[in-house]
Amino acid sequence: MYLLGEQPAYADAWVNRLQAIAPQLLQGLAPCASAVDFDEVADLGAVLDPACIYLVERGLVHIRLNERNLFYLHEGDLLGWRLDDQPPHCVSSSDGPLRLVPYSRSALLAHVGAQPAAQQLLVEYLTGHALLLSDAITRLKQPEFRSSNGFKQVAQGETLINEGDEADHVFVIIEGRAEAFVDGQKVGDVAKDEIFGAMAVFTNEKRSATVIASEPCTVMLIPRDQFLSLTQTNPRIAHSLIESMARRIDLLNRQLTAATQPVD
C-alpha cells in the first residue's frame, strides 16, 4: 500500500509490516486459476471475479473513493476484499501493466479460519490498512479555527488592545462590538465575527490602535504563532481577514476624504 503525499517513517515501517502478512496468509493455499494480465483498465471491479481475492504480483492499482485518489496497492497487496456496492463508492483501476493472481475467497477464508495464528494476521492486515488511512487523514486535515487560549468575557468600556503594546495575540469578537482609537481619536468600529489585531502580528510591530469594548463582549484570543499557521492553511480565515482589512481601508479613505473637503 502506498499513501498519497509524504508519510512519516513509522508509516513506512507499518506498510512494510503489512506487506509481509499477505504471503503468510496465502502460505499453503494454491491459486484457483491462472494469473490475469492487464495493460490498462479503468474499473477492475467490473472485470474481476467477485468470488476471488487477488494478489498483486506486478504493477500498481489506484484506489479512488468518490472520484478522489485515496491510495495505491502494489506488489504483495491483496485486492478484492469488499463485495458490496453501497456508498462510499470505491473504484480500483490501473494505468499500466498489471498482473493479478486469483485465490478463491471462500477457500482463503476457510484456510485462515483453520489456523488461529492466521486469523490474528488477517485481523492485523485489515485493521492495519484502516489505521494507516486514518493516520494519513489526520495528518492531512487542516487545523481547526480554534484558539488554544479559549475565550474571554469583556465588560463595556474595558480595553482589549492598548496602542503601543506587543502584538502576541489576534482577536475575534464572538459577541458584542468594540471601537478602535488612534491617539484618542475614534477611527472605526469592530463588529461581531471580525478579526482584529492581525496587522501588527503580520508586521511584527507594536499595536497601532487602542480597541475598547463598546458593549459587553465575548472575545476569542488566538496566539500569534497559531494564527500565522492558520492563515497559511485555512483559506476561510485568510478570506475573512482580507475582507476586514478592505473595509477598514475603505473607511479610512472616506474619513481622509471628508477631512480634506473645503469648508463652505
Residue 14 makes CB contacts below 8 A (sequence gap 6+) with 128, 131, 132
To which H or E segment does residue 109 belong?
Answer: helix 105-113
Length of the chain: 264
Query: How much is the pLDDT for 232?
Result: 65
pLDDT, tens digit, 9 for 90 and up, residues 161-179: 898 888 888 888 888 999 9
- Write the pLDDT tens digit of every residue in 194-240: 778 887 777 788 888 899 999 999 988 888 887 777 666 655 555 55
Q: Check residue 69 and give its pLDDT.
A: 79
Burial 148-161 (b: 16+ CB within 10 A, else e): eeeebebeeeeebb
**What's the helix, strand, coil split of the chain in %, to 5?**
35, 30, 35
Q: What is the CATH number of domain 2-140?
A: 2.60.120.10
| CA–CA gap between residue 2 and residue 61 (Å, rounded) | 10
Q: May I ask the CATH class of domain 151-260?
A: mainly beta
Hey, how many other C-beta atoms are within 10 angstroms of the C-beta on 220? 19
CA angle 48, 50, 55 (to 5 degrees): 65
Question: Domain residues of the chain, as ranges?
Answer: 2-140, 151-260
Give pLDDT tens digits along the chain (264 positions): 766 666 777 788 888 888 889 999 999 999 999 999 999 899 998 899 999 999 999 999 998 877 777 788 888 899 988 776 666 678 899 988 999 999 999 999 999 999 999 999 999 988 888 888 877 777 665 455 444 457 888 899 999 889 888 888 888 888 899 998 988 888 888 888 777 888 777 778 888 889 999 999 998 888 888 777 766 665 555 555 555 655 555 555 565 566 556 655
The 8-class DSSP code of residue 44 comes to G
Which residues, 6+ apart, have CB-to-CB distance to 23 below 8 Å?
76
> In the prediction, which pLDDT does 145 show?
46
The two domains 2-140 and 151-260 share their CATH topology (first three levels equal)? yes
